[in-house]
């Protein structure tokens, strides 16, 4: 009962609203892409695919009904639409999870979501770190030899102890870690 008082109905309503977008992966892609530019369902289908035109139209309609997409203008009939009217939409906001809505999710959903996000970000981060650290290798080599570090990346921010490496502080799961050798 105390959790219900601490977390307002505003967070619950936001979670219900987010559920519409997060329920279907295609809807997430639609909202993110239409936040950046105006687009119609046929344009989206030509550019990104996502199934049949009917499926794309149904998802556009659902998002528009729930307030995620705003109708900007209509075009038609004429051109390659063969008499049809083409509706152009723009997303009203990006779907992001605030702290209050996140707290309402069951623990298992939060853990699974966090892990999925991490596994998507980790390879990109590792690649970026390796590329950016190749230039700094001359700075890192003395640390690698002295400390036995596995990562050549040395962050340069205020208050950082240069006597270590990133891999000493951030554990990377075994299946994402770079193979050791040599």
Q: What is the pLDDT of residue 3?
A: 39
Region of residue 67 (phi > 0: left; psi between -120 and 50: alpha; otherwise: beta): left
End-to-end Cα spacing for the chain? 58
Domains and CATH numbers, the chain: 2-99 (1.10.10.10), 106-169 (no CATH)
Extract the tokens encoding 99. 């702290």
Q: Tell me whether the omega of the peptide bond preceding residue 77 falls within 30 degrees of 0, making it cis.
A: yes
Q: What is the pLDDT of residue 182?
A: 46
The DSSP code sequence of 97-165 is --HHHHHHS-HHHHHHHHHHHHHHHHHHHHHHHHHHHHTTHHHHHHHHHHH--S-------TT--SSS-
- Would you say residue 17 has pLDDT above 50? yes
| CA 154 – CA 143 distance, rounded (Å) | 9
Q: What is the pLDDT of residue 68?
A: 93
- Could you read off the pLDDT of 72-127 as tens digits, one per residue? 998 877 666 566 788 999 999 888 888 888 888 888 888 888 888 888 888 888 88
**137 or 60, greater pLDDT:** 60
Region of residue 125 (phi > 0: left; psi between -120 and 50: alpha; otherwise: beta): alpha
Query: What are the contacts of 72-75 at 24+ separation with CB within 8 A?
Result: 72/38, 73/38, 75/40
């Amino acid at each position: 009962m105390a959790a219900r008082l601490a977390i307002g109905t505003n967070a619950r309503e936001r979670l219900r609203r987010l559920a519409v977008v997060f329920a279907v992966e295609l809807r997430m892609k639609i909202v993110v892409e239409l936040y950046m530019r105006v687009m119609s369902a046929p344009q989206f289908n030509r550019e990104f695919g996502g199934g049949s035109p009917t499926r794309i139209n149904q998802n556009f309609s659902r998002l528009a009904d729930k307030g995620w997409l705003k109708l900007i203008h209509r075009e038609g009939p004429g051109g390659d639409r063969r008499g049809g009217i083409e509706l152009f939409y723009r997303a009203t906001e990006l779907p992001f999870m605030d702290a209050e809505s996140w707290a309402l999710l069951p623990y298992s959903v939060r853990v699974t979501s966090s892990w999925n996000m991490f596994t998507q970000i980790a390879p990109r981060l590792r690649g970026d770190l390796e590329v950016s650290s190749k230039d700094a290798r001359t700075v890192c080599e003395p640390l690698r030899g002295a400390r036995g570090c596995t990562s050549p990346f040395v962050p340069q921010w205020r208050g950082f102890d240069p006597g270590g490496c990133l891999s000493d502080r951030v554990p990377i799961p075994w299946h994402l870690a770079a193979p050791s050798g040599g």
